[in-house]
Amino acid sequence: MGFCDSPIDSALIRKLLYNKTLVYVLGINTGTSVDGVDLALIKWDASNLKSFKVIQEASYEIDPTVKQEIEILIAKQKSSLEAISDLHCKLGRFLAFIINEFRKEFPHCKIDLIGMHGQTVYHGIYSSLQLGNISVVAKLAGIPVVGDFRSGDIAFGGHGAPLTSFQDDLLIRDNSMTKATLNIGGIANITVMKPDEPTLAYDTGPGNTLIDCLVRKLFQQDYDKNGDIASLGKVNERFIDALINKTDYFQLSPPKSTGRELFGEKFADKFLDLGNKENIIANVSYFTAKTISNEIQKYDLQEIYVAGGGYRNKFLMNALKSMNPGLKFSSHDGVKINSQYKEAMLFSLLAFTCFKDIPNNVPSSTGAKRATILGVIAKP
């Protein structure tokens, strides 16, 4: 691994960046599904945050050993302090390596700052834990890193999620009409922006996490590409409706957030008695679509912008369309955001606003008592 080892005056860097109007910020997202690392380099303009420019986007595979350790930790929901601490630094080293690979591949790209969410391994009511030590990344990449975006919101009574509502509110809101976004990552979340009303955003429930879990268990594949496996199975709607009604999370009112602590392997096993393997994947995919659709139907929407890996699952998207025949499902291209890199772009934005001392949470979405600046800065 090649790392930056030149001496750096951290105070000088912060002063120079803080006084700059245009800042190049690399956002990094690993995602709940642990299916890769997305990077988005964005040029932000402090005088007009809507006047951003996407410089470069790229994706990389996660180191198989690191991925396996993350999966084991999340699935078991327990581990030794030594293993957690070691993985925290190991993931930091790996992400620093990825950043330097990005710089080699795109040597023309200038990076002033990095926004890094880290890998969520626990998200609860009172706390949230992301691994990937930002100080390790900052030192080995030689660039300031901003991370730990959830704790500040949690400190003021919020859920620390969903974070995407800040980006949606800032870049997509249109005060002449209601707009909504849907992100289908490991967990799915919706943002609804009505004119002259506070932005509402929350996790609808599982996105890809249950599907991926069962595809790995039954087919030894990382995910159901295009929803091809699900398309071969039969759906038991009575079972799905009963499971939704029995799951407390779906009865809660927003603001609310969830994670793989609830929608993980134990929950996925509820589908194992539904016949052949294809039936199981069809039902867990339809269940995911139904839980998303139930939330969408609470709002008077004409169009919704969809991002995340679930957008590429044809079975999932066709199910959503059939449940909502009058609703148009679009990519984020219409709002100049690449759907695949939306979350990487989000962490670029959160890092930039943190560095510029701009409040970047949305209390109406997270449940926090007030607006605050999210993020912690690690110096190189």
* CATH code for the domain in which residue 208 is found: 3.30.420.40
How do beta strands 53-60 and 113-116 pair? unpaired
- Is residue 168 a part of any domain in this protein? no
Residues 343 and 161: their CA atoms lie apart, in Å, by: 13
Which candidate, 267, 262, 264, places its Cα nearest to that of 249? 262
Backbone Cα Rg of the chain: 20
181 phi and psi, to 5 degrees?
A: -125, 155
Q: Are residues 88 and 193 in the same domain?
A: no
What are the angstrom distances between the C-alpha of 135 and each of 15, 82, 126? 19, 18, 24
Same domain, 271 and 305: yes
Looking up tokens 């009963």, which residue turns up?
Answer: 242
Q: Residue range 127-148: average pLDDT?
A: 96
Residues 345 and 331 in one domain: no
Q: What is the pLDDT of residue 190?
A: 97
Provide the pLDDT confidence category of residue 8 given band limits of 50, 70 and 90. very low
Q: Does one domain contain both 224 and 314?
A: yes
- pLDDT tens string 311-360: 999 999 999 999 999 999 999 887 889 988 999 999 999 999 999 999 99
Residue 18 reports pLDDT greater than 90: no
pLDDT digits (tens, 9 = 90+) for 265-309: 999 999 999 989 999 999 999 999 999 999 999 999 989 999 988
For residues 55 and 178, membership in a common domain is answered with no
Q: With 60 as the cut, is the pLDDT of residue 7 above it?
A: no
Backbone φ and ψ for 176, nearest 5 degrees, come out as: -100, -10
Q: 327 with 346, same domain?
A: no
Q: What is the pLDDT of residue 1?
A: 44
Please tell me whether residues 138 and 252 are part of one structural domain.
no
Tell me how many domains the chain contains.
2
Predicted confidence at residue 20, as pLDDT, reads 74
Task: Using pLDDT thresholds of 50, 70 and 90, give the confidence band for residue 10.
Answer: low
Best CA proximity match to 25, nearest among 5, 38, 39: 39
Answer whether residue 128 is part of any domain: yes
CA distance 373 to 14: 17
Q: Which residues pair with 77 in a beta bridge?
A: none
More confident: 42 or 222: 42
Q: What end-to-end distance do the CA atoms of the chain give, in Å?
A: 17
Question: Using an 8 Å Cβ cutoff, are 106 and 36 in contact?
Answer: no
Query: What are the residues whose beta carbons fall under 8 Å from the beta carbon of 67, sequence distance 6 or more?
Result: 34
Assign 21 a pLDDT band (cuts: 50, 70, 90): confident
Of 91, 113, 106, 108, give the one whose Cα is nearest residue 27. 113
User: Which is more confident, 27 or 66?
Assistant: 27
Q: What is the pLDDT of residue 16?
A: 57
**pLDDT for 3 beyond 60:** no
142 and 19, same domain (yes or no): yes
* Whether residue 258 sits in one domain with residue 183: yes
* CA–CA dist 316, 5 (Å, integer): 47
Shared domain for 349 and 320, answered yes or no, is: no
Nearest to 149 by CA among 360, 345, 379, 380: 360
328 vs 102: CA distance, rounded Å:
36
Residue 49 counted as domain residue: yes
Closest CA to 213 of 274, 278, 284: 284
The domain containing residue 293 runs over which residues? 173-335
Q: Is residue 237 part of a domain?
A: yes
